[in-house]
Chain A
Amino acid sequence: MDNLPQIVSVLGDGIPETVIATLGGVLLTIVLSFGAGLLLLSPSRTVRGVTRVYVEGFRGTSEVVQLFWIYFVLPVLVGFQLLPLFAGIVVLGLNHGAYGAEIVRGAIRSVPRAQYEGAIALSLSPAQRMRRVIFPQAFVEMLPPFNNLFIQLLKSTAILALITVPEVTRQAREVLIPNYGSDTLLIFGVTFVIYLVLAGLITLGMRLLERVASARLGRRPSRAARQAAKATAGVAS
């Protein structure tokens, strides 16, 4: 316990790297998920086929091996070494984007056919149907699975330790263990807590987003509506 302050301080030094990797990975995941998810619904077989190759390719191979490829093999092939943190973000994004594409595709497919027909009956164009009617409804359905995916991405940032990114796990293994070897329990205990707190923050953010999105679908009254109802009830009683 004596070493707790040093342990916390060294692990804390790794938090910015972990957070940057997570945020960068999430950002790239979002872009790729929506891009590839929509392409998976394209009427063109070729477009769907090419997108499928990306999705299955990244879902079906090891994330660690992908990381080694981009960090160790790519430089040999093109003679250019990516910064470790940047390479890590690219792999996290590509990998989780492949899962996210299926989330987006599935959510859009789950919007009832009746909604498309309602939009056709109003003569909306295919793009308007998607943007104005289908996508907003699908979006709410995507949030819980994306919450999962983002938490998984956060935990995956630990593999960046393998390519020298000084994030939380690498700080624990490479800096703390050699110096405070007897405090293994404490070192990895604090590491656990750090991931747990960061995952909690992701969940908090996603829940908020979910609440806003549901309110817009009228599934749950918005805060303003609830307060108005309360105020009216107060007047009535």
Chain B
Amino acid sequence: MPPPDTTASTPGSTTEPMIVFDGVEKRFGSNVVLKDLSFTVAPGEHVTLIGPSGSGKTTILRLLMTLEQLDEGTISVGGRYLSHELRGGKLTPPREKYLRDVRKHIGMVFQQFNLFPNMTVRGNLIEGPTRVLGLSKAEANSRAEELLDLVGLKEKIDAHPTQLSGGQQQRVAIARALAMRPDVLLLDEVTSALDPELVTGVLKLLQDIGESTDITILCVTHEMGFARDFSHRVMMFDGGRVLEDAPPDKLFTDPDHQRTKDFLHAVLDH
């Protein structure tokens, strides 16, 4: 693997991978969650991570969002290290300021939405763009309105998150992540906390976003139908390793491993 470039490149304009995991290990105490994990994701690619709970899928997203620190290996996004900071030719622990700069290119949508209850929908949407990206209030506002229109909640712009249903909150959270114009979007079981009748709408929205943008998307989900339609690639995890990595058509119909078959059987049956 060529060493990632330290200067900010324009992601998507090269054939360089957008995300590179190289020999990543993550432990929680004595529990090894990810073991010698290496994979790459191309710009614009949609990759879905599946596997039994505790297999480390969510940890991968959390490492990418810098919510966790890794123990071994390196991670880079858009040609820049995320796990480390390259200083004087040496890999050093990243400083907060550097991390914030790399983080700007990554967005995340959480299972529990994590909207800020002390702000209206508008406040949630303009907070990052104005404070981090330096947009003017007017620019951020028009971006917020545009995105709310996209997620079908334009009339809720001055509502508080607590006045919205779960599905509406998750749409706002998706809009909030998109307002940062990320290169990489991480979706962490975004429909798991929703009432069943609200799931379809959110998945449909994500499908539309996937089709109409060139954002690189990593997705952890239990919605196998969605994974099949949405992904270019599906990675099956087990015990902190990638057991199988294939296009959805292959993985869902003719997996190589019995373990994958059993898992799919279990989730599709229930």
Of B100, B112, B163, the residue contacting A218 (CB under 8 A) is B163
B252 interface contact, C-beta 8 A:
no
Interface of A is mostly: helix
Q: Tell me the smallest distance from the CB of B36 to a CB of chain A, in Å.
A: 27
| Cβ contact within 8 Å between B162 and A218 | yes
Interfacial residues of chain A within 120-171, with CB under 8 A of chain B in the complex: 120-126, 128, 132-133, 136-137
Stretch at the interface among A16-24, A27-35, A55-63, A111-119: A111-119
Report Cα–Cα, A121/B124, bound state, in Å.
Answer: 12
| Cβ contact within 8 Å between A123 and B128 | yes
Stretch at the interface among B9-17, B24-32, B102-110: B102-110
Q: Tell me the smallest distance from the CB of B97 to a CB of chain A, in Å.
A: 8
| Cβ contact within 8 Å between B127 and A123 | no
| A123-B103, A124-B127 known; A118+B114 contact, CB < 8 A | yes
| Cβ contact within 8 Å between B128 and A118 | no
Q: Which residues of A contact B116 (CB under 8 A)?
A: 115, 118-119, 132-133, 137
Give the A-B contact count at a CB cut-off of 8 A: 69
- Size bracket, chain A contacts: 20 to 34
B87 interface contact, C-beta 8 A:
no
Q: Which residues of A contact B161 (CB under 8 A)?
A: 218
| A125-B100, A218-B160, A219-B162 known; A120+B117 contact, CB < 8 A | no
B180 interface contact, C-beta 8 A:
yes
| Chain B residue nearest in CB terms to A117 | B67
A45 interface contact, C-beta 8 A:
no
Q: Tell me the smallest distance from the CB of A222 to a CB of chain B, in Å.
A: 10
Report Cα–Cα, A124/B67, bound state, in Å.
Answer: 13
B65 interface contact, C-beta 8 A:
yes
| A132-B127, A217-B118 known; A120+B65 contact, CB < 8 A | yes
Q: Which residues of A contact B118 (CB under 8 A)?
A: 133, 136-137, 216-217
Report Cα–Cα, A119/B127, bound state, in Å.
Answer: 9
| Chain A residue nearest in CB terms to B173 | A118
- Listed in ascending order, the chain B residues whose CB lies under 8 Å from chain A are 65-67, 96, 100, 103-104, 106-108, 110, 112, 114-118, 120, 127-128, 131-132, 159-163, 176-177, 180
The 3 closest A-B pairs by CB, nearest first: A218-B160, A118-B114, A122-B128
Excluding A117-B110, A218-B160, 8 further A-B contacts by CB distance (< 8 Å) are: A117-B114, A118-B116, A119-B116, A122-B176, A132-B127, A133-B116, A136-B118, A137-B116
Listed by A's residue number, 27 A-B pairs whose Cβ atoms lie within 8 Å are A114-B112, A115-B114, A117-B67, A118-B110, A118-B115, A119-B116, A121-B67, A121-B106, A121-B110, A121-B114, A122-B176, A122-B180, A123-B100, A123-B103, A123-B180, A124-B131, A124-B132, A125-B96, A128-B131, A132-B116, A132-B131, A133-B118, A217-B118, A217-B162, A218-B161, A218-B162, A219-B117
